[in-house]
Structure 1
């Protein structure tokens, strides 16, 4: 016998399906389906091979800097840093086997094709005697650049990495005449860090698959025993497992039990996981100078009651979040600002009757990388500075968001929080997910646990 809530839910599902279908007829969806098979842990090349690959990517990116300088009418780009006081850009220009700049490391990128022809670009000094300064002054005198970029931006990390002490040293050693030619242009650092290089995508896809494999194993009966395992246990399982896979992370995994009150923070919840719980994870891995950032959700089946699938209301919530992902990818275009995209998305969500929030960001060299952001959790409609930056072509983005959805089976409204990494496909001229996207909940079936494999689950000591 149908209840009133069941009838209303079916009507809502039908209406939502029609809206999505109509939108799909107008826009070819940028999203791809949930992978049909379980993800696998992908073995990366040896560390020695990885270093050679990464240095090739670095050289390709460095070769583009003179053109980038010309684009912004700048003739020289000067970076100065010391060990443990690195410029933010250092990590995107260094070699794979360099872990810090030694002593004082000074880099000078330039566009000179005459007096510096045949010399390295960048010119590089490693010095702790002061010998760098007369040599740098001689180079500048020879080249005579009109505009010299320094990374002094107060708002953008990728254009503001020059430490105060280094700035003061430059001002003293270069003198007033040269310092008057210095300019602040944060787009140099943003574009350098954000732009992908050929051959990188295949390895990034491998990292994404490994990220999915970690989630699929963590959100399974191999790791979780309802009534025993805690969310914190699962977080530390991720950390230990990543060590075995020879990858690391840029943020501690955050595992939560979703409730109407729970929302993104910088830590997960501290709950014992039980049947009927809706789980969430936010984490990413780091390898080969690349970072992933993914959020998935899982449901712990009530196997003691014979449950074999997640409630319909939870599935509906995932579908709504998927539709929001489509909306974001359809409206992201190079040249638009992050705030332009955000407004267009919010307007379309209103048309389709979807409530939620978007807080998407660039990813790549960093988990939160260089470029325009599309919303923040605390700035849901407009983001100063970073939201006014333009969307760049040929980049990676983390499509991060949540949809509100009422779950009749629980008589509560929950946030369905998803995140996947996407890239711009130049041939198809649209955004695509690097590996796929979550379209169905991971299901944890306690009755499927193998009795001879309890060591993979964490046990809470009394």
Structure 2
């Protein structure tokens, strides 16, 4: 009972600051991760809220009064099926039928076998039926007389999987802070001893910490190092360890030295919500109390790119147009930007009567945002961005650093964000300065 009380207080606290972008101060209570059973019940409650609120919303938006969902639409079906309070799905019908009973947005659901669908559709006589291409092929003969009323269900499918409820937005603040709190531990002398600790040791420390806390993760963490060319001759690692023209990667076990920039790329799955985070630390040289001015300016440049990108989000606007506008504005300000953001992962913990988990239920849904090189994307492409959706805002700006002999530093930040209430919120706050490792 104690853990439940602690969790509810956290949700109320984070919700009160939700509308603000805020400064960065990790506050997740990582010593009070909920037991798995309590997690499952909270996730199921959130799923039911989405079923009750998001389905009518998106059916109205698409002007659809019936939506057919097949078992073959696996993750979507598992998300929409009836379950008990802890996620047990007892019945697996071949199809779920959502319909507007009275034309006033009161959506009902019927579980149906294939042979029942035709009679149900005939009885309800919908004017516009959303259906997948696969289901249309399977039921083509049985529903031939209604074929003129068919529309693609793709927009509904994507929207339900990506749109979150207001309650989940508050939960996401808490989950993001938990993720940030682990990184705060990592980027400290608790974990890193300069000139001793290696990147592989840090990677595995993160993995172990997640396990000890009872947090799930789907990827091995990545620790990346940037080092001044003025410092590299002192050590044995070659330049291949410090390339900035490729994404963060493992495979180079490097000793972390004073004067290095350290970046992490890691995430957790908690309460059905995923995080994907890249943050940065600077290892102080002897006598330093802060990172060199050139590195701090590099950090501010990437922060500025975040702000420019955030300001271009508009409900219903194509993602390519958002990225193009942000890149154009950033270049006009003298930045060297790249944006390669993407939807954030979500996952389900539902299970069947025989005890089997529904596998493959960690998924991404929504438009990609950007690409390599900061080049213009096809206008109008990429898919619309809607309110109450969540993304990994992943981007960087390159900056020449005088203290490093004019060397370019690529400062990558990846931040879990929500677009809600027609604005971008940096969930859990955002990093605006280097962690400093003494």
- Seen in structure 2, the aligned counterparts of structure 1 residues 258 and 383 have a Cα distance that, compared at 3 Å, is farther
Q: Which moved more, 1:138-147 or 1:340-349?
A: 138-147
- Seen in structure 2, the aligned counterparts of structure 1 residues 99 and 382 have a Cα distance that, compared at 3 Å, is farther
Give a deviation string over 1:261-289, Cα, whole Å, max 9, x none: 23554743522232122111112211111
Write out aligned runs for 1:31-110 (5 A): 31-35=21-25, 40-41=29-30, 43-64=32-53, 65-81=55-71, 87-94=74-81, 95=83, 97-98=86-87, 105-110=94-99
1:76 deviates by 2.0
Write out aligned runs for 1:136-215 (5 A): 136-152=117-133, 169-171=138-140, 174=142, 176-177=144-145, 181-215=149-183
The correspondence for 2:377, drawn from 365, 376, 382, is 382
Give a deviation string over 1:217-239, Cα, whole Å, max 9, x none: 12222222344433233222222
Q: Report what 1:372 is aligned to.
A: 367
- Seen in structure 2, the aligned counterparts of structure 1 residues 374 and 368 have a Cα distance that, compared at 3 Å, is farther
C-alpha contact (below 8 Å) 1:359/1:380 kept by paired residues: no
- When the two chains are superposed, the root-mean-square deviation of aligned CA atoms in Å is 3.2
Write out aligned runs for 1:357-368 (5 A): 357-363=338-344, 365=346
1:329 deviates by 1.5
- Seen in structure 2, the aligned counterparts of structure 1 residues 243 and 177 have a Cα distance that, compared at 3 Å, is farther
Provide the rounded CA distance (Å) in 2 between the counterparts of 1:139 and 1:298: 60
Provide the rounded CA distance (Å) in 1 between the counterparts of 2:378 and 2:89: 33
Residue aligned with 2:177, SS:
helix
Q: Report what 1:414 is aligned to.
A: 409
1:31 deviates by 4.0
Instruction: Report the count of equivalent residues.
Output: 386
1:61 deviates by 1.8
1:100 deviates by 7.9
Q: Report what 1:435 is aligned to.
A: 428
1:297 deviates by 0.9
Structure with the bigger RCO (C-alpha within 8 Å, sep 6+) is 2
Provide the rounded CA distance (Å) in 2 between the counterparts of 1:336 and 1:279: 35
Residue aligned with 1:272, SS:
coil
Q: Which moved more, 1:433-442 or 1:89-98?
A: 89-98
Q: Report what 1:398 is aligned to.
A: 392
Q: Which moved more, 1:373-382 or 1:320-329?
A: 373-382
Q: Report what 1:124 is aligned to.
A: 111
Residue 405 (structure 2) pairs with residue 423 (structure 1): no
Unaligned runs of 5+ in 2: 1-18, 228-241, 348-361
C-alpha contact (below 8 Å) 2:223/2:264 kept by paired residues: yes
Unaligned runs of 5+ in 1: 1-28, 126-131, 153-161, 446-462
C-alpha contact (below 8 Å) 2:387/2:420 kept by paired residues: no
Q: Report what 2:238 is aligned to.
A: none
Residue aligned with 1:381, SS:
coil
Give a deviation string over 1:187-238, Cα, whole Å, max 9, x none: 2123222322132233211211111111111222222234443323322222
TM-score by length of 2: 0.77
- Seen in structure 2, the aligned counterparts of structure 1 residues 176 and 39 have a Cα distance that, compared at 3 Å, is closer
C-alpha contact (below 8 Å) 2:127/2:149 kept by paired residues: yes
C-alpha contact (below 8 Å) 1:300/1:443 kept by paired residues: yes
Q: Report what 1:274 is aligned to.
A: 256
The correspondence for 1:284, drawn from 264, 267, 286, is 267
Provide the rounded CA distance (Å) in 1 between the counterparts of 2:164 and 2:377: 27
C-alpha contact (below 8 Å) 1:30/1:430 kept by paired residues: no
C-alpha contact (below 8 Å) 2:312/2:322 kept by paired residues: yes
Q: Which moved more, 1:309-318 or 1:408-417?
A: 309-318
Provide the rounded CA distance (Å) in 1 between the counterparts of 2:436 and 2:199: 16
Residue aligned with 1:360, SS:
strand
C-alpha contact (below 8 Å) 1:78/1:149 kept by paired residues: yes
